Structure 1
Amino acid sequence: MPRAIVLNQADNVATLLDAGSAGEPCTLQGEGSGQMTLLQDVPFGHKVCIADTPQSANVLKYGQVIGRASQNLKAGEHLHVHNIESTRARGDLEKR
């Protein structure tokens, strides 16, 4: 069973400590606890969504905004550049 660590209570993502496959249960450790089911294959070290997150909502890791959801995200979904938009060092985005 893959494991994932939640680094801050405010986070809506966890980082996988073991690679996981779609349909597998995943145990959350650290600042979050519990279990979820992976919706997709997630490589070691990648992020997984731990709470349904609407499009344009902030994605939090370390209790800090690391990007914005570029689509609606579901708990258990693999998070990467295909569904998270970076907000750091972007002069084209207005301050929110």
Structure 2
Amino acid sequence: MSQNTVNDPKLKEESNLLAKEVFTPVLQVAVKKAVDAKHSQNAILNGSLYAFAGMLTMILGGEKNTAALLRDFADHLEQHGLEQPEPGEIRQ
């Protein structure tokens, strides 16, 4: 993830829209399902991280690319923060 990609206003707007309208609702359903099944918070966090890392690895073509992207994103997050989608209730 280059600084140009992170700072591209059009990509940022499109990414925030996808996060809010596509990914967050699905993740909320998955978390609710895990909570309802009485899984621990640590298990839910680890399970979601494993799933996310697996998806990134599939898209990016390997663990090294995934690790590099996550390191770059962590650096960006520390420096610039994260625009949170508006909070909403967990959907069923």
TM-score computed with the length of structure 2 as normaliser:
0.19
Asked which structure has the greater CA Rg, the reply is 2
- Which structure has more helix as a fraction of its residues? 2
| Higher RCO (C-alpha 8 Å, min separation 6) | 2
